[in-house]
Structure 1
């Protein structure tokens, strides 16, 4: 897949905008134009008028003493479940479960890496082998606070090696956590990749 810039896109946008303005101008009376001109001048005067000290005093400001000089660390408890490392962060989230499933994309052939972004979108836009897109979308909306997938790359601070990751993320209330896990299982294992027409959309 190769993407190339369109050298005419800016010109097309400018022409469309000019056509829109010309159409709007054609519907205006002389009185409308005078009113718009006066409003523009009033706005320019307002924007160019400096704020008074009283107005500036209303703006919030921070002092250096307001900042915590200590770096906050996220508590992490590393466990292993069926041979897979699991990180648990014991943080107050007001009853919300945040779950990230992280997959190392270095195992993929290099020629497949550019397609990760399309696969990420497909996971929640195609439906599964047992649910079409509409049913899956309604299920996600009713049971969770959102589910999505994305590819992610970053540089490691401890080596010259980069990380290429595929993330599947979701959140829900504690009570709906089993439903969240079930949805993630379904989109990971049963996404209907045969929906070619839907994929092209």
Structure 2
């Protein structure tokens, strides 16, 4: 079994992760935490895919993709917080200081690839990408669920324990909630 994580520059691989059964459907494409509310609402149907195609063609990838034995297995959204309108302007998630932190806001593993180590590999791959891009710190905003089950529709934010296992520490409370659980701000400083 070969598990590799790399920057998401291949739009076809992104499409494998996100294309809905009906291409004209307005699904997330992991843009909801990247764009302002107005921009997000304005992009409908295939325009969302077009926006991701544009993001994949930039020097700075929109995140990282995991491949298990050559097949697309998972995604992690990571970018400078300053590029992520909802986080950069959030009233619910605090800014602790002026560090140009990167935010790791979404982790998604495709059905059939779960429970094979993809999530920890995505977190480490995202952190490595941020470090290689000059980030001094990576933040995440997982739920503090105390071991309780998280509804799969809200599980993309991750859990406190999964980020603790990856070397993140709780840095602050937030006023944000996901799936009925409070979200916390966790950090991992990079050397």
Class of the TM-score when normalised by the shorter of the 2 chains: under 0.3
Q: Could you state the TM-score of these two structures normalised by the residue count of structure 2?
A: 0.25
Q: Could you state the TM-score of these two structures normalised by the residue count of structure 1?
A: 0.24
Higher strand share: 2
Higher helix share: 1
**Higher Cα Rg, which structure:** 1
